[in-house]
Structure 1
Amino acid sequence: MTGTRDAVFVLGIVCVGLMAGLFAAFAYAVMPGLGQTDDRSFVLAMQRINVVIVNPLFMLLFVGGAGCTVAAAVLYRERRMFWWIVAGAVLYAIGLLITMALNIPLNDRLQAAGDPERIADIHAVRRAFESSWVRWNIARAVVHTAAFAVLVVGAVTR
């Protein structure tokens, strides 16, 4: 049981860490870079990213972080690190809620705007998307990074 329990916990930490890194990379590199592009390039790039990011690996990490941390909490309920794992799972869940309630609807509206070559007021479409999406992405990056940090603390709190 200990090997399985440890493997589940490590997988949870890895999934949460990779998601934190993804959202952080968008915050400090991808969005600042796209922010320097013209409106059509920005909208087109984000539309394409939002399509390709929903792939099996992303979904495995996205859902796996939640599943493995909750499973680890159950498996470690009698250990000192239990509350660290619970805190990591709760923080991760908050990040998922931000993604599902705020970032994804913004992505959907951007996609629904249609082909950037045919959008009459591309600047308005970008303006309605960019600042809100960036703000909520930073929030989820911070929350996911905090989840990763407390899970790592839990791993060293035996």
Structure 2
Amino acid sequence: METARTSTLIAATITAGLISGLFYAFTVAVMPGLARSTDRTTVETMQNINKAILNGWFMLTYLGAPLLITTTLVLHATDPETRDAIAPLAAALATCLAALIITARINIPLNNALEAAGPPEQHGDPTTTHTARTAYEAPWNNANTWRTVLTTLTLALLTYTLTLH
């Protein structure tokens, strides 16, 4: 049982770290870089990223993190000797789920709206592209900043839990 607890905790920490790192990269590099770009470049790039990110590797880590945290929490809760890990694991699950909720309620609808705006080259008027960008960029960045903070907390809590072993 110890092997299962340790293995799932390590896997949860790795997947949470990958997701946290992805959100962090968008916060500190991708979106600031796009902020320096034209409306057309920003809209087109984000439309392409939003399509490309929907792949098996992303889904494995994005959905794997909460599943692995939940499994780890259950495994630790069933052994009286590892119950000291329950609080940080429960907090890690809560922060991870909060990031998922932000994604589902804010980032995904914004991504869908940006896609619905159509490709910039089909916009007859440049103000259409500008409007699509301004409706997307600031709210998406704000939500992503919160996802970054929450998933970083998730990672910190899981790392702390590793020290309890």
TM-score, normalised by the number of residues in structure 1: 0.97
- Pick from 116, 133, 156 the counterpart of residue 149 of structure 1: 156
Larger radius of gyration: 2
Deviation at 1:68, TM superposition (A): 0.2
What is the correspondence of 1:4-153 to structure 2 with a 5 Å cutoff? 4-77=4-77, 78=80, 79=82, 80-119=84-123, 120=125, 121-153=128-160
**In structure 1, distance between residues paired with 2:75 and 2:131:** 50
> Secondary structure in 1 aligned to 2:122?
coil
**In structure 1, distance between residues paired with 2:14 and 2:86:** 18
**In structure 2, distance between residues paired with 1:127 and 1:63:** 30
Q: Name the % identity.
A: 35
Amino acid at match of 2:142: R
**In structure 2, distance between residues paired with 1:86 and 1:152:** 13
Deviation at 1:2, TM superposition (A): 1.3
Aligned length: 158
**In structure 2, distance between residues paired with 1:132 and 1:24:** 16
Moved over 6 A (4+): none
Structure 1: unaligned runs, 5 residues or longer: none
**In structure 2, distance between residues paired with 1:145 and 1:38:** 31
Query: For structure 1, which segment, 106-115 or 116-125, has the greater mean C-alpha deviation from structure 2 after superposition?
Result: 116-125
Deviation at 1:26, TM superposition (A): 0.2
> Secondary structure in 2 aligned to 1:37?
coil
**In structure 1, distance between residues paired with 2:64 and 2:98:** 15
TM-score, normalised by the number of residues in structure 2: 0.93
**In structure 1, distance between residues paired with 2:68 and 2:41:** 38
> Which protein has the bigger helix share?
2
